[in-house]
Amino acid sequence: MSCKFNFSAGPAILPREVLTKAQSELLDCNGTGMSVMEMSHRGKEYAPIIKNAELKFKKLMNVPKNYKILFLQGGAVTQNFMVPMNLLNNRTASYVISGYWSKRTFTDAQPFLGANIAASSESINFSKAPNIDSWRYKKDDAYIHFCLNETVQGVEYFDDPNIKNVPIVCDMSSTILSRPIDVSRYGVIYAGAQKNIGPSGLTILIVRDDLLDFADKKTPSTLNWKIQSENNSMINTPASYGIYIAGLVFDWLFEQGGLGSIEKNNLKKSNYLYDFIDSTDFYINNVDVLNRSRMNVVFNIYNDDLTSEFLIGAEKNGLFGLKGHRIIGGASSLNI
Ligand X SMILES: *Cc1c(COP(=O)(O)O)cnc(C)c1O
d(CA 134, CA 187): 20
d(CA 179, CA 262): 6
Beta-carbon-side half-sphere exposure of residue 214 (alpha carbons within 13 Å): 21
Host H or E run for residue 283:
strand 283-284
- Residues 195-234 interacting with ligand X (rule: CB under 6 A): 195
Name the catalytic one among 58, 195, 226, 323: 195
d(CA 49, CA 234): 14
> Among 161, 192, 198, 238, which residue sits at the site for ligand X (rule: CB under 6 A)?
192
Q: Which of 244, 239, 201, 236 is nearest to 56 (CA)?
A: 244
Contact pattern for ligand X over residues 49 through 78, marking x by CB under 6 A: --------------------------xxx-
Q: Which string of DSSP letters, residue by residue, matches 301-327?
A: ESSGGGHHHHHHHHHHTTEES-BPPTT
Report whether 93 contacts 116 (CB < 8 A): yes
- Least distance between ligand X and beta carbon 43 (Å): 28
Contact pattern for ligand X over residues 152 through 191, marking x by CB under 6 A: -------------------x-xx-----------------
User: In this complex, which beta carbon is closest to ligand X, that of residue 149 or of residue 228?
Assistant: 149
User: In this complex, which beta carbon is closest to ligand X, that of residue 75 or of residue 167?
Assistant: 75
> Among 7, 71, 95, 101, which residue sits at the site for ligand X (rule: CB under 6 A)?
101
d(CA 203, CA 218): 22
Contact pattern for ligand X over residues 73 through 92, marking x by CB under 6 A: --xxx---------------
User: In this complex, which beta carbon is closest to ligand X, that of residue 75 or of residue 187?
Assistant: 75
Residues that bind ligand X (CB under 6 A): 10, 75-77, 101, 147, 151, 171, 173-174, 192, 195
Residues annotated as catalytic (active site), given as ranges = 101, 171, 195
